[in-house]
Amino acid sequence: MADKQISLHTKLINGGIAGLIGVTCVFPIDLAKTRLQNQQNGQRIYSSMSDCLMKTIRSDGYFGMYRGAAVNLTLVTPEKAIKLAANDFFRHILSKDGKKLTLLKEMLAGCGAGTCQVIVTTPMEMLKIQLQDAGRLAAQQKLMAAQAVSSSPSGSPISTTSQATSALKSQQTATQITKELLRSKGITGLYKGLGATLLRDVPFSIIYFPMFANLNKMGPRSAEGKAPIYVSFISGCIAGSAAAVAVNPCDVIKTRLQSLQRGLNEDTYSGVMDCIRKIWRNEGPGAFLKGAYCRALVIAPLFGIAQVVYFLGIAETIIEMLPNRRH
């Protein structure tokens, strides 16, 4: 029975490694997703994911696509670790009767995982969104300034001071944003949009984990009963993209609620229901699918890589090697 017990620390390490690798690979697409979701019917800067990435490279260089990545890379380790380990933990608890897990129990385990992860996910997303969307706001300000110059009789931009102030705010670092939020609103400032994050992450996990587990079972097995790497990867990609598209409306709401800065004539929201009403009324139902394909492109490889690293047991290999170094 001992070999069947959950080794929580190895699962945490595997989850962290998986998160770091995955985020590094797909972060530029995630940046495009955030900017596309935050665009309202007013001043549209980007027409598509590729347009967003090309304009970002032209204005900020290659590394401009990784604005906000430091926050994600710092916090994705505990976030992914908690998510994957919590799902395993709840599956272990729910299967203690020795019976095969039913679909309902698999969904309950996913629900528990999604609920646990928001402790880290909410502040991580809160900070990441401010940094990712700063480039869109700066581009919008430049466009407005150019339009003001061409339309002003004197040839000078209108509201230069307010535009300069907004541009300065958009260049804040994650540390500066954190300090400002803690000083003005306390710890609750970092948890703005917690309800919307739960609304996204709990259904995501309810869909993702059972779908992955059942897809993974459909593939061939080795002599030890383990699925080949490619089966885990494909299963993670399919389950991740399906779950991502399914909860994309919740992700749009969460992104809008967590954005502290707004462009010209863009709506502000007092809560989840207010956000839903205004998006539906002003932008139509199609707005809830903004960035859906970007999110699918982000989540598919992210969770495919995560499951491969997780099931390869890299942490177990590292831990097994440690005692040998002492000899």
Residue 160 has pLDDT above 50, yes or no: no
**Residue 156: inside a domain, yes or no?**
no
CATH of the domain at 13: 1.50.40.10
**Residue 158: inside a domain, yes or no?**
no
**Residue 165: inside a domain, yes or no?**
no
**Residue 157: inside a domain, yes or no?**
no
**Residue 239: inside a domain, yes or no?**
yes
Backbone angles phi, psi at 269, to 5 degrees: -130, 145
Mean pLDDT of 70-91: 84
Per-residue pLDDT reduced to its tens digit, 88-117 = 889 888 988 778 889 899 999 999 999 999
Mean pLDDT of 186-212: 92
Per-residue pLDDT reduced to its tens digit, 261-309 = 887 788 899 999 999 999 999 999 999 999 999 999 988 888 788 777 7
Rounded Cα distance between 66 and 226, Å, is 36
**Residue 223: inside a domain, yes or no?**
yes
**Residue 33: inside a domain, yes or no?**
yes
* pTM of model > 0.75: yes
Q: Which residue range is the domain that position 124 belongs to?
A: 2-143+174-326
Cα angle: 138, vertex 301, 25; to 5 degrees: 50
Domain count, the chain: 1
**Residue 106: inside a domain, yes or no?**
yes
Rounded Cα distance between 261 and 268, Å, is 9
Per-residue pLDDT reduced to its tens digit, 165-179 = 444 455 678 889 999
| Percent of the chain residues past pLDDT 70, beyond the cut | 87
